[in-house]
Structure 1
Amino acid sequence: MGMLQRVGGSWRDLAEAGPQFWLGGLRAWFASAARIPVVVPGNISVSVRPRTSDFSVLRQIFRNREYALTDGYVRDSVQREYARILANGQFPVIVDAGANIGAASLWFRQQFPDAWIVAIEPDAANAEMARANTAHLDGMLVLQAAVGGERGFVTVVPADAAWAVQTERSASGCEVLTIADAIARVPGGVPLIVKIDIEGFEADVFDGNTDWIDDTALIFVEPHDWMLPGKGTSRSFQRAFGTREFEIFIQGENLAYLRAAPVQH
Structure 2
Amino acid sequence: MKKKIRIKKALQYFGVPAVIDSIKAQYFGGSELFSIKLDYLEHPLSLRLLGSDVPTFKKIFIEQEYDFHTNIPPKVIVDAGANVGFTSVYLANKFPECKIISIEPEAENFEVLKLNTKPYKNIVAIQAALWNENKKINLVDPGKGSWGFTAEDSDDNDADLIDAVTVDYLLEHYKLGHIDILKIDIEGSEKEVFDDTSKWLSNVNSIVIELHERMKQGCNRSFYTGTPGFNVEWQKGENVFIARDEEVMSPR
Instruction: Please tell me the TM-score bracket, short chain as reference.
Output: 0.7 to 0.9
Letter in 2 for 1:46: L
1:234 maps to: 220
SS of equivalent to 1:244:
coil
Match for residue 72 of structure 2 among 63, 80, 99: 80
2:171 maps to: 183
TM-score, normalised by the number of residues in structure 1: 0.78
2:95 maps to: 112
> Conserved in 1, the CA contact under 8 Å of 2:205 and 2:244?
yes
Aligned residues: 235
Residues 262 and 226 of structure 1, relative CA distance in 2, 3 Å threshold? same
Residues 185 and 66 of structure 1, relative CA distance in 2, 3 Å threshold? farther
Distance in 2 of aligned mates of 1:199 and 1:79: 30
Distance in 1 of aligned mates of 2:18 and 2:169: 36
Distance in 2 of aligned mates of 1:247 and 1:24: 45
Of 139-148 and 35-44, deviating more is 35-44
CA deviation vs aligned residue, 1:20-71 (integer Å, no higher than 9, x gap): x5578746854524222122351441111231211221111111111111xx
> Conserved in 2, the CA contact under 8 Å of 1:31 and 1:50?
no
Match for residue 168 of structure 1 among 148, 152, 158: 152
Gaps of at least 5 residues in structure 1 are 14-20, 70-74, 83-91
> Conserved in 1, the CA contact under 8 Å of 2:232 and 2:246?
no
Q: Does 1:61 align with 2:53?
A: no
Match for residue 103 of structure 1 among 86, 99, 102: 86
2:205 maps to: 217
1:249 maps to: 234
2:182 maps to: 194
Distance in 2 of aligned mates of 1:52 and 1:220: 24
Residues 247 and 9 of structure 1, relative CA distance in 2, 3 Å threshold? farther
Distance in 1 of aligned mates of 2:181 and 2:244: 11
Letter in 1 for 2:222: S
Structure number with higher helix proportion: 1
SS of equivalent to 1:94:
strand
Q: Does 1:126 align with 2:109?
A: yes
2:135 maps to: 152
Residues 144 and 28 of structure 1, relative CA distance in 2, 3 Å threshold? farther
SS of equivalent to 2:102:
strand
Residues 25 and 40 of structure 1, relative CA distance in 2, 3 Å threshold? farther
> Conserved in 2, the CA contact under 8 Å of 1:154 and 1:170?
yes
Residues 126 and 112 of structure 1, relative CA distance in 2, 3 Å threshold? same
Measure how far apart 1:149 and its partner are: 2.0
Distance in 2 of aligned mates of 1:7 and 1:215: 43
> Conserved in 2, the CA contact under 8 Å of 1:222 and 1:254?
yes
1:86 maps to: none
Measure how far apart 1:262 and its partner are: 6.1
1:18 maps to: none
List 4+ stretches of structure 1 deviating above 6 A.
none
Q: Does 1:203 align with 2:201?
A: no
Distance in 2 of aligned mates of 1:28 and 1:178: 40
* Identity across matched positions, percent: 28
CA deviation vs aligned residue, 1:144-190 (integer Å, no higher than 9, x gap): 11111222221010243000011101124211111122233433543
1:37 maps to: 35
Residues 112 and 168 of structure 1, relative CA distance in 2, 3 Å threshold? same
